[in-house]
Amino acid sequence: MTKTKDLVKAIIKGIQEKKGQGIVVADLNGIDGTICSYFVICQGNSPMQVQAITDSVEETARLEVQEKPVRIVGQENALWVAMDYTDVMVHIFVPDMREYYHLEDLWEDAHLERVPDLD
């Protein structure tokens, strides 16, 4: 589990390096029917920033914990990008898409950690 937590930390760092906002880590451990252990959710202000965050997360995870995503979807329009690291799913939204889907409420039993935005 330590490697998974290190991956989550690297993902958060990658998001923060590109000024991603509203970072929420949903801990799904112990909840039946989940597809992974953690969701990391954040947003960028534009498709360009969403793509920059995606690239930063991918690079930071590769360099810091030697992890590559199994799959990345949504880069065509970069309104909602999902990165699958098997045990961790990363969701990067533009604000209106995040508000529409509101993944934070998907798993009501999950412990949610809100990471403060960097100035």
Per-residue pLDDT of 55-97, as tens digits, reads: 999 999 999 999 999 999 999 999 999 999 999 999 999 999 9
What integer pLDDT is reported at residue 1 of this predicted model? 62
Q: Which two three-digit tokens encode residue 78? A: 């970069």
Give the pTM: 0.95
Question: By CB neighbour count within 10 A (0-12 exposed, 13-18 middle, 19+ buried), where does 10 fall?
Answer: buried
Sort strands 88-93 and 80-84 into parallel, antiparallel or unpaired: antiparallel
Mean pLDDT of 33-39: 92
